[in-house]
Structure 1
Amino acid sequence: MIRLHCYTDIPAESDLINKIVEILPDLRQLGIRVWLRDNFTQDLPDGIEPIEHQLQSTYGSPSPKSYRSEITFEDQAYYIFTSGTTGLPKACKRTHRAAVAASFALESVGLGPDDVLYSPLPLYHSAAFNLGFLNCIRVGCTFAIGRKFSVTRFWEDVRKHHATIIQYIGEICRYLMAQPKKPDDGVYPVKLRVACGNGLRPDIWEHFKTRFNIDHIYEFWGATECYKMFINLDGKVGTVGRLSPLLKLLDGSVRVIKCDVNLAEPIRGKDGKCIEVAPGETGLLVIAVVNDTSPFLGYIGKKETEKKILRNVFKDGDSYFNSGDLIKISPDGYIYFVDRLGDTFRWKGENVATTEVAQILDEFPGIMEANVYGVTIPGQDGKAGMAAITLSAGVESLDFKKLYSYLSDKLPSYARPKFIRITSNMDLTGTFKHKKSEFAKQGFDPIQITDPLYYINNESTTYDILNADSFPFVKLCSKL
């Protein structure tokens, strides 16, 4: 039996009820009934029923098979929204077969009936629904879900629900690490044994695990649209799993191919077929599509679906799911996420991976988080690197001379950010991943942007203020 623990504040729930009341007539016409948990203190409007009464009148035995006798594994079960990091979110189709497969995703981390999995993530996305909710249903453990992520309330909720497993995604761990240390950091009523998610950057991996007293961190790679998932089971920092040469030989569905990051498409040889990268080389992750056992279900909309399928990849007639992710697999099989294909850009004839540059910026004292992207410069080929950064609590400014020296030691010249924007509001998706498109669209024009702007000055080996006097770019060109 699944126990669903939900909590929210009364004003927020009132807002939700008011929105439902607006569409109640339409819901009634569709034959839809609305239930609400009983601890809501206000009088319920007509058409909304308390769920406790309904639960008391139900039977404890399973539903008769006749209720689902005509439903097959291939029937549509639900939709999941992609996060929308490089474009608009899209509704991804999920069948009953996909739901059952997803419910086994956390079997390898030892999820069992005595666990309590706490998630602050939205149920319309795959992390909370597929990896959280469905897995808890399968093993019969408790799923405790927060209405939304709260950096100040997160650990309080973990203790309140006696969580043994927590979910994270995107920059959640960084936000938690940025909070002032407390005496009860890492102290729980029961052992917190697992943190599972994706987007934990290597620079805070061990610090997060130690400070909050977590036994194991299971970083994974997955895509809502894809039947494959990698998970880091041995704790190697910075990896999302391992594909040993033997496993690759036995499976064969996972391939990493050369691609043109400027055109965001695979590079094909003279024979028209794609080219697999060497071990340790970065490339585009593609996964074989086989109609029966590993289908790509796609999205609502045939055009969007077709965009994600590569055809005639290694031989005529084959098809592969285009993950859109750049990865590298080390000679010993460890898998490293490098960047999103749409986020990587070219400058001075070289590829720049925004994720790698952001990780290096994140390690500089005083920088809370960095969002790196490419911006267009009139008259220049490719895109120049720009970083929107937020400062750590209590930090009012950076030593840009030291930052220049630090980046010079860590990055080749083409990868060093040419512009820096200090902002107080980082643009995030609903699952706490950085959005880049709006920042990139705004560029580096000090007339249009009110945030403090800086440009790299290689002559004076620092970052100088970018303002109306140092703009337009013609004056900066020789110094980049």
Structure 2
Amino acid sequence: MSLIALAAGTTTLAKYLNAKYHISKDVSALRLVRNGMKDYEAAAAQGLANVWLVFKETAARHPDMVCMWTRERPYTYRDVVASSNRLAHFFLSKGVQPGELVALYLTNRAEFMFAWLALWSIGCAPAAINYNLAGDALLHCLKVSGARIVLVDDDEECRVRMEEARGAVEGALGMELVPIETEMGAFPTTDVKEGELALNMSGEYPAILLYTSGTTGMPKGCAFTMSRLYTTLRLRPGSMDEKNGPGGDCWYSCMPLYHGTSAISMIVALVNGTCIGLGKKFSVSGFWRDVRDSQATIFVYVGEAARYLLAAPPTAQDKEHRVRCMYGNGLRPDIWDKFRERFGVEEVGEFFNSTEGIFGLFNYNKGPFSAGSVGHHGLLMRMVMRNTFVPVAIDPNTGDVLRDAKTGFVVRSPYEVGGEIIVNMPNEEAFQGYWRNEEATNKKFLRDVFAKGDLWYRSGDALRRQADGRWYFLDRLGDTFRWKSENVATAEVAEVLGQFPGVQEANVYGVLVPHHEGRAGTAALQITPEARSNFDFKGLTAFARARLPKYAVPVFLRIVEASTHIHNHKQNKVPLREEGVDPDKIGTKAPEGKDDKFLWLAPGDDAYKVFSRDDWEVLQAGKARL
């Protein structure tokens, strides 16, 4: 055989192996991770690991580039620097010191980004408070942040919720409420103390404090650390062929900035030199108009947003846009290709991660191979991650990991079958933990899993991985469920419902509903005997809506005769969750509840009413949108 023929054969074989095992993709991913870490380490060694400093370099390169679009007006980098500096001086005038957090109770608006950057410039960071929160949940999140200042939106609903909480916020919490419309024009636009407050920031300090429902109870704070964000500056653009600078890409998001998906997407683009567009809030009618007007080439989605857009009647303008890619999480396989075909969005950047940031996957999809999956590992990555991301069996009755009766070790599941993903940890410090909540942090760890003394992290999510490396989401484990692209903590909802007169006990869980993403909130209510004949369901509706975010108000009620406890006096959600609200399943898992009465909060209604088989058939036919 000639050398030419041998070389040709070797090249062909190499191409075949690369196509089959995706070796070059894995090598590229590993290189990106390594380079991102090297960038951060080099900056940290010089005390320059604050992302504000990267932003300033970008702004100096492109001062007159339009870097932010809003419906009200566009902003150049020069504008953003000036507005951020003005806010930085304002925060210092309020006594904010380096190392403090400032709470942002803001909708999607340019000032959110200005405040974020301003806080970095003085060695601080924001705590992003969900602006839908009210009552105890709002007070809890503010208390967790430890902030002294709360920047409050001028949106009417936000002002009303915060005004109702003012007494407790200013009294018990000792925080100052600062309206966003406060006059700040008198403050200078120059750098604060020549930028010295931005130096020597710890990599473990929050770039932003986000909140997650976790597995039970009230929302928990979790720092998206400065080191994690710094490495993301290299990882994200390198994974998506992102083009920055004038004439480059433009990212659009109307997903709330208190969510990590939207917040991190926007700030990474802005810092790297890529234009961003901010939509006030998601609406089917206004989405594509914003996308076109902002000249977006990439948009951010979460959960059901894509399904809602797809459900709208087709128009002749469906493909009249510049979008090349959609980026986010929660795009379900059943609409993946339908969305791409109808709207002409060729690329999908679907990622799987959590606020905690311990277990992450990414699928940059351009064709049929990985469509519908939340990530892909080629042969090399499968070898590297073999004993790092591991699926384990779950006890269906307790929701806890299943342990072998003889050895006491956790039962490992085949990747193709899947299970809750646990992550191998070198030590406890590898997880930064929940903000000021050691007890919740410790609950995320598993010990003595496959060997005495080993340490693992519970993701709380079940996934499976096919033999070819494609990852697929199965379910969110534990008490928390997702609805309307939000995490709903059952304990928080149950606590609110339990305060209503006549409710003896509330057991809250999520149920699957045809043609809907996630799980709809359902509350199994045990009503006191004296209230059963004249229970005020309309009053309960108003009570819940006043104290819970809209997405957390239960859609369904199941009126039970007895409590649903297991041997250790904990509520048992499993049989109720499996039965859901399908009339044909009621009583199959919980025989004692075969005669339970069901109610629902139908679209547009102001009170719970009887949920009948006819109503179920309407949902099955896809004729009602909850």
What's the counterpart of residue 403 of structure 2? 268
What's the counterpart of residue 90 of structure 1? 220
What's the counterpart of residue 337 of structure 1? 473
2:510–2:521 contact (8 Å) kept in structure 1: no
1:283-302 mapped onto 2 (5 Å cutoff): 283-291=419-427, 294-302=430-438
What's the counterpart of residue 134 of structure 1? 267
CA apart distance, 1:300: 3.2
Distance in 2 (alpha carbons) for counterparts of 1:20 and 1:187: 39
State the identity %.
26
Distance in 1 (alpha carbons) for counterparts of 2:457 and 2:193: 37
Unaligned runs of 5+ in 1: 37-46, 346-353, 363-367, 390-399, 408-412, 427-447, 457-461, 466-480
Q: Which amino acid aligns with 1:164?
A: T
1:16-415 mapped onto 2 (5 Å cutoff): 47-50=182-185, 57-58=189-190, 64=194, 66-82=196-212, 88-107=218-237, 108-113=239-244, 114-130=248-264, 132-188=265-321, 191-234=322-365, 235=367, 236-251=370-385, 252-269=387-404, 270-291=406-427, 294-342=430-478, 361-362=514-515, 371=519, 383-384=575-576, 385-386=578-579
What's the counterpart of residue 434 of structure 1? none
Q: Which amino acid aligns with 2:226?
A: H
- Partner of 1:310, secondary structure, is strand
CA apart distance, 1:253: 1.9
CA apart distance, 1:174: 1.0
Q: Structure 1 residues 293, 195: closer, same or farther in 2, change over 3 A?
A: farther
Structure 1 residue 450 corresponds to structure 2 residue 609: yes
Q: Which amino acid aligns with 1:58?
A: T
CA apart distance, 1:92: 1.0
Q: Structure 1 residues 145, 105: closer, same or farther in 2, change over 3 A?
A: farther
- Partner of 2:376, secondary structure, is coil
What is the CA deviation profile of residues 104-159 of structure 1, one whole-angstrom value per residue up to 9, with x for unaligned ones? 452211222111111111111110112x1232134211121222111210111001
Q: Structure 1 residues 317, 84: closer, same or farther in 2, change over 3 A?
A: closer
Figure out how many residues of one structure are paired with residues of the other and give that number: 382
Q: Which amino acid aligns with 1:239?
A: S
Q: Which amino acid aligns with 1:145?
A: L
- Partner of 1:305, secondary structure, is helix
Q: Which moved more, 1:215-224 or 1:12-21?
A: 12-21
1:33–1:48 contact (8 Å) kept in structure 2: no
1:6–1:144 contact (8 Å) kept in structure 2: yes
1:261–1:342 contact (8 Å) kept in structure 2: no
Q: Which amino acid aligns with 1:259?
A: I
Q: Structure 1 residues 243, 378: closer, same or farther in 2, change over 3 A?
A: farther
Q: Structure 1 residues 272, 178: closer, same or farther in 2, change over 3 A?
A: same
Q: Which amino acid aligns with 1:97?
A: S
CA apart distance, 1:310: 1.4
1:74–1:96 contact (8 Å) kept in structure 2: yes
CA apart distance, 1:275: 2.4
Q: Structure 1 residues 105, 120: closer, same or farther in 2, change over 3 A?
A: farther
Q: Structure 1 residues 105, 33: closer, same or farther in 2, change over 3 A?
A: farther
What's the counterpart of residue 42 of structure 1? none
CA apart distance, 1:233: 2.2
2:600–2:608 contact (8 Å) kept in structure 1: no
Distance in 2 (alpha carbons) for counterparts of 1:356 and 1:278: 27
CA apart distance, 1:179: 1.2
- Partner of 1:265, secondary structure, is coil
Distance in 2 (alpha carbons) for counterparts of 1:89 and 1:192: 34
Distance in 1 (alpha carbons) for counterparts of 2:358 and 2:157: 34
Q: Structure 1 residues 312, 65: closer, same or farther in 2, change over 3 A?
A: farther
Relative to its length, the structure with more strand (as a share) is 1
C-alpha RMSD of the superposition? 4.5
CA apart distance, 1:211: 1.1
CA apart distance, 1:192: 0.7
Distance in 1 (alpha carbons) for counterparts of 2:612 and 2:207: 48
- Partner of 1:106, secondary structure, is helix
Q: Which moved more, 1:102-111 or 1:80-89?
A: 80-89
CA apart distance, 1:262: 2.3
Q: With structure 2 as the length reference, what TM-score do the two structures score?
A: 0.52
1:289–1:296 contact (8 Å) kept in structure 2: no
- Partner of 1:100, secondary structure, is helix
- Partner of 2:441, secondary structure, is helix
Distance in 1 (alpha carbons) for counterparts of 2:463 and 2:309: 27
Distance in 2 (alpha carbons) for counterparts of 1:302 and 1:344: 20
1:296–1:321 contact (8 Å) kept in structure 2: no
Q: Structure 1 residues 254, 84: closer, same or farther in 2, change over 3 A?
A: closer
Question: Pick from 46, 58, 67: which aligns with 1:3?
Answer: 67
Q: Which amino acid aligns with 1:257?
A: V
What is the CA deviation profile of residues 173-198 of structure 1, one whole-angstrom value per residue up to 9, with x for unaligned ones? 1111111221111102xx21100111
Q: Structure 1 residues 63, 175: closer, same or farther in 2, change over 3 A?
A: farther
Distance in 2 (alpha carbons) for counterparts of 1:453 and 1:14: 39
Q: Which moved more, 1:336-345 or 1:278-287?
A: 336-345
Q: With structure 1 as the length reference, what TM-score do the two structures score?
A: 0.66
- Partner of 2:364, secondary structure, is coil
2:511–2:519 contact (8 Å) kept in structure 1: no
Q: Which amino acid aligns with 2:442?
A: E
CA apart distance, 1:327: 0.7
- Partner of 2:276, secondary structure, is strand
2:446–2:455 contact (8 Å) kept in structure 1: yes
Distance in 2 (alpha carbons) for counterparts of 1:124 and 1:203: 28
Distance in 2 (alpha carbons) for counterparts of 1:451 and 1:199: 31
Distance in 1 (alpha carbons) for counterparts of 2:518 and 2:161: 39
1:372–1:388 contact (8 Å) kept in structure 2: no
